[in-house]
Amino acid sequence: MKILFRNIHLYLSLVAGLIIAVVCFTGAVLVFEKELEQGLHPERYYVTPPAAGAQRLSVAQLVAAVQAKAGPKAKVAGVKIYADPARTIEINLAGGGGPGEKGGKEGREGSMRRNEGGAQRGPQAGPDGERGGRGEGQGAKGEQGGKGEKGGKGGGEGGRGPQYFVNPYTGAVVGPYVYRDSFFFTMMALHRGMVGGAAGKLVVGVSTLLFLFIIGTGIVLWWPASNKILKQRLTVKWDASFKRLNHDLHIVLGFYSALFLFVFAFTGLAWSFEWFNNGIFAVTGSDPKGPEAPESEVVLDGRKLGFDQAYAAARQQVPGALSYAISLPKDSTEALRVMTTTAGAVYEGATDELYLDQYTGRPLGQLAFKDRNLGQRVRRTFKPVHTGAIYGTPSKIIALIVCVLGVTFPVTGVIMWLNRLKKEKKKAGKKRVATAAA
């Protein structure tokens, strides 16, 4: 039976090994994307707070500073404000606005970046990560490339406008930052679909499915027949020959990382196949769309709520939040939405949503993360699990190590296969010599 599993393990690895190695490598790069972005470009994300008691400029003043730099056609889509006095204010323009925004086909390629399940609209916080959303159901389509990928309502990561970072005390503007032009977008494009569009995305999805079988058959092959062999398969013999060391690196480290790799691969299927997302909601018996958002009551004068009024209303309704991401409505009846991150969130990105009347600022309702249905909560948990962010830095370190190991396994596996071929060829040669001598 082990011969069968060995053959399955071998041939699936030969088929998908290169893709798996690339996906693991890019995944390793992306684990600490936020930290790397903030470390390499601190001027975007941080300021030196002035003396105690210094007043921030109004959000309207900060928006005006961005519009002055971006040009008269710039249209602000959302603002993200942090409670941390050392953080900049993030202002996002609608797709097609401001310098650096790419339109046409590039602007419609859709949701390439990992998201947590919300549709791609409203404030896009870049590497710091929270996004506004219309609901889990539409978000799933955006992630899977449905309407969002082709430039429908979802908009898509590639279709959003540039992002600006503003000093809340001085109004100094840094930007634009266009995610599509960044190194991490290239890494994400490789990670999701080998920069091959829908076909590349399918190749990565199928390879990920095969990887699950590779991991499963690998565990079967690893399983020891005795306690003596168990000890050997739990310890790397670092002073052994290259052949033995390569064997241990593949077998032993493969065992220790198998569970993590399986979880990362399994959750990764959510970005490759719509049927997988549908299955999450089917298994949990949940509605992908969730409850309908309340609507604003249209007033005759048409005067709408400004960012400052929305921010004040949000702080009153959700005091003490770590951040407030304000999304402007898309039409005359939608509610103004504020995504809030609280200190007690179960993980970074488990946000609550506040609805305000876009004309009066009157609270229309709230949707806490804990109040979402089971399917939505499970689906939204896939992102932090997949990226290793679920438990903060410790789980990210584990994800980084495991992804790096994932790059090595196709290499060590091929070396083992070549050594086995060489051994079998040598054995066959000896057999022919012995037969000839007889």
DSSP letters of 1-66? Answer: -HHHHHHHHHHHHHHHHHHHHHHHHHHHHHHTHHHHHHHH-HHHHB----STTPPPPPHHHHHHHH
Residue 295 DSSP SS3: strand
Which pLDDT band holds residue 356 (cuts at 50, 70, 90)?
very high
Helix, strand and coil content of the chain, in percent to the nearest 5, comes to 55, 10, 35
Which pLDDT band holds residue 193 (cuts at 50, 70, 90)?
confident
Residue 299 predicted with pLDDT over 70: yes
Residue 109 predicted with pLDDT over 50: no
Task: Give Cβ neighbours of residue 232 (< 8 Å, ≥ 6 apart).
Answer: 224
Which pLDDT band holds residue 152 (cuts at 50, 70, 90)?
very low
Residue 363 DSSP SS3: strand
Residue 229 predicted with pLDDT over 50: yes
Least confident of 15-19, 192-196, 204-208, 312-316: 192-196
The DSSP output letter for 387 is H
Q: What is the pLDDT of residue 155?
A: 34
Q: What is the pLDDT of residue 160?
A: 63
Evaluate whether residue 256 is within a structural domain: yes
Joined together, the tokens standing for residue 85 give 């006095």
Distance (Å, rounded) from C-alpha 314 to C-alpha 398? 37
Evaluate whether residue 247 is within a structural domain: yes
Nearest to 350 by CA among 342, 361, 360: 342
Evaluate whether residue 217 is within a structural domain: yes
Q: Which residue has the higher pLDDT, 51 or 23?
A: 23
What does the DSSP assignment read for 81-135? EESSTTBPEEEEEPTT-STT---HHHHTS---S--SSS-SEEEE-GGG--EE-S-
Cis bond leading into 176, ω under 30°? yes
Q: What is the pLDDT of residue 290?
A: 79
What is the CB-side half-sphere exposure of residue 284 using CA atoms within 13 A? 17
Residue 134 predicted with pLDDT over 60: no
Residues shown for the chain: 438
Helical segments of 269-348, H only? 274-284, 307-317
Q: What is the pLDDT of residue 349?
A: 82
Least confident of 52-61, 251-260, 293-302, 329-338: 293-302
Q: Which residue has the higher pLDDT, 131 or 431?
A: 431
Residue 139 predicted with pLDDT over 60: no
Select, from the ranges 129-138, 229-238, 251-260, 330-339, the one with the highest average predicted confidence (pLDDT). 251-260
Distance (Å, rounded) from C-alpha 204 to C-alpha 189? 11
CB-based contact 98:107 (threshold 8 Å): no
Mean pLDDT of 363-373: 92
Residue in the block written with tokens 């018996």: 285
Strand order across the beta sheet in which 163-166 lies: 173-177, 163-166, 89-93, 76-82, 323-327, 336-341, 352-356, 363-367
Task: Give Cβ neighbours of residue 6 (< 8 Å, ≥ 6 apart).
Answer: 217, 221
Distance spanning both ends of the chain, measured CA to CA: 34
pLDDT in tens, 33-55: 999 999 999 999 999 988 777 78
User: Could you list the residue range(s) of the whole structural domain that residue 219 is in?
Assistant: 2-26+195-272+396-437
Evaluate whether residue 305 is within a structural domain: no
CB-based contact 176:162 (threshold 8 Å): yes
Evaluate whether residue 86 is within a structural domain: no
Residue 56's φ and ψ, nearest 5 degrees, are -80, 155
Which pLDDT band holds residue 59 (cuts at 50, 70, 90)?
very high
The pTM of the full predicted model, rounded to 2 decimals, is 0.81
User: How far from 12 is each of 6, 59, 142, CA to CA, in Å?
Assistant: 10, 55, 30
Q: Which residue has the higher pLDDT, 296 or 30?
A: 30
Evaluate whether residue 178 is within a structural domain: no
Q: Which residue has the higher pLDDT, 396 or 108?
A: 396
Other residues' Cβ atoms within 10 Å of the Cβ of residue 438: 5
Q: What is the pLDDT of residue 143?
A: 38
Q: How many domains are contained in the chain?
A: 1
Distance (Å, rounded) from C-alpha 99 to C-alpha 120? 20
Which pLDDT band holds residue 89 (cuts at 50, 70, 90)?
very high
Evaluate whether residue 245 is within a structural domain: yes
Q: What is the pLDDT of residue 438?
A: 64
Least confident of 19-33, 91-105, 221-235: 91-105
21 exposure class (CB count in 10 Å sphere: 0-12, 13-18, 19+): middle
Which pLDDT band holds residue 286 (cuts at 50, 70, 90)?
very high
Supply the mean pLDDT for the chain.
83
Residue type, 83: A
Q: What is the pLDDT of residue 164?
A: 96
Angle at CA of residue 350, ends 344 and 355, nearest 5° = 100
Evaluate whether residue 13 is within a structural domain: yes
Q: What is the pLDDT of residue 246?
A: 95
Cα dihedral 234/239/240/245 (nearest 10):
60
